[in-house]
Amino acid sequence: MTVLVDVATLCSIVKRVGITHFMAGMEKTMRRDFKRWREFDKCARVASHSKLGVIELMPISDSCRYAFKYVNGHPANTKIGVPTVMAFGALAQVDTGYPELVAELTLTTAIRTSVTSVMAARALARPDSKTMGMIGCGAQSEFQAIAFHALLGIKQIRIFDIDKSAMDKLSQHLKGYPELEVIQVDSAAQATKGADIVTTCTADKTWATILTPDMVEEGMHINAIGGDCPGKTELHVDVLKQAKVFVEYEPQTRVEGDIQQLPLSYSVNDLWRVIAEKEVGRESKQQITVFDSVGFALEDYSALSYLYKLVQEFNEGETIDLIPQLDNPKDLFVFVSDDADEQIANKHKAA
């Protein structure tokens, strides 16, 4: 039988664990998986682009499990009351191909993206970082703020969005974290001034320059998560040129990330090598670092694996007949034969 984790089930699990503990557990799982990067069969995600957005499939596997995510990105969706990003995914056994888990990944992706950002900042930002500037206060912003506060010790966050109501929404949600000082500002430049870490998380599918060189300060770590498809960027190209740039999976980031603005000959660095302690990340307090994050399938593999572990631990989720349960594996027709209803009913009674 396959376990189904829908939105209600995910929310139940997160509430049982607590959002910050859920994030911490996911980061631990993700760090473990990044350290064994070479064990995974990897490829860039398969994308279908349209004028209004993109729909993507993100597959990955190791010797034990195969995972994939279906995900979209449609910036105009909010105008019709639909999320910009929606996703679901699956986890299957490699030796048999049997699907163990089918899960919602819209909320889970928001959490895993924030966890990935923290994992990168832990490796690249100055260890004494306490302040963060955030440009963009959409659906991802609360998760980023909470993860950086709870897992990395950020004490103050200055936020900016061209939509004042989005800033109000974020401020309201963060009132549950009284030790995190939240300051609304009037411009992106004000948000970044004096910040140890800057997070850019805008949604528009455009060649944008949310962050310009004059806004970047010595020793800053930039967490660029909004540029994630061809023709969509957030950083001025000169910001990249003055920083040490880190990516998840270079073949994918070259097409989708902010580094699509750079020639292929321009050298970038693999985040996994820093996580696995094979290379040094930040080389000095003064160095500027950029995590050009587009989201990679290994992060979803980690998220699904962690979720499946909790599902089993708490006995959560609904078991579904996603795959026919056969007495004779060579006889599939029995399910559409004249006595199919009776046979299916008998199988349910036996289960």
Does some domain include residue 61? yes
CA distance 281 to 246: 9
One digit per residue, pLDDT tens: the chain, 351 residues? 999 999 999 999 999 999 999 999 999 999 999 999 999 999 999 999 898 888 999 999 999 999 999 999 898 998 999 988 899 999 999 999 999 999 999 999 999 999 999 999 999 999 999 999 999 999 999 999 999 999 999 999 999 999 999 999 999 999 999 999 999 999 999 999 999 999 999 877 677 789 999 999 999 999 999 877 788 899 999 999 999 999 999 999 999 999 999 999 999 999 999 999 999 999 999 999 999 999 999 999 999 999 999 999 999 999 999 998 888 889 888 888 877 666 665 665 555
Cβ atoms < 10 Å from Cβ of 191 = 27
The CATH number of residue 322's host domain is 3.30.1780.10
Answer whether 20's CB lies under 8 Å from 114's CB. no
Q: Which amino acid is at 19?
A: I
CA distance 3 to 192: 44
Indicate whether 187 and 271 sit together in one domain.
Answer: yes
Q: 243 is in which domain, residue-wise?
A: 114-296
Answer whether 209's CB lies under 8 Å from 235's CB. yes
Indicate whether 64 and 127 sit together in one domain.
Answer: no
CA distance 283 to 292: 18
The pLDDT of residue 232: 82
Does some domain include residue 153? yes
Answer whether 102's CB lies under 8 Å from 304's CB. no
Phi, psi for residue 159 in degrees, rounded to 5: -120, 145
Indicate whether 28 and 99 sit together in one domain.
Answer: yes
The pLDDT of residue 73: 87
Indicate whether 307 and 280 sit together in one domain.
Answer: no
Answer whether 45's CB lies under 8 Å from 252's CB. yes
Indicate whether 289 and 144 sit together in one domain.
Answer: yes
Does some domain include residue 340? no
Does some domain include residue 26? yes
The pLDDT of residue 337: 83
CA distance 85 to 8: 18
Those residues whose C-beta lies under 8 Å from the C-beta of residue 13, and which sit 6 or more positions away, are 5, 22, 307, 310, 311, 314, 316
The pLDDT of residue 88: 98
Indicate whether 277 and 313 sit together in one domain.
Answer: no
Indicate whether 50 and 126 sit together in one domain.
Answer: no
Indicate whether 95 and 163 sit together in one domain.
Answer: no
Catalytic-role residue among 62, 196, 228, 258: 228
For residue 228, indicate whether it is catalytic. yes
The CATH number of residue 197's host domain is 3.40.50.720
The helix/strand/coil state of 17 is helix
Is the pTM of the predicted complex or chain greater than 0.75?
Answer: yes
The pLDDT of residue 103: 98
Answer whether 198's CB lies under 8 Å from 148's CB. no
Indicate whether 37 and 143 sit together in one domain.
Answer: no
Query: Alpha helix (H) ranges present in the chain?
Result: 7-17, 19-35, 106-124, 141-152, 164-173, 188-192, 237-241, 250-256, 271-275, 297-314, 340-350
- Cα 64 to chain center, whole Å? 22
- Structurally, the chain folds into a number of domains equal to 2
Indicate whether 129 and 269 sit together in one domain.
Answer: yes
Does some domain include residue 94? yes
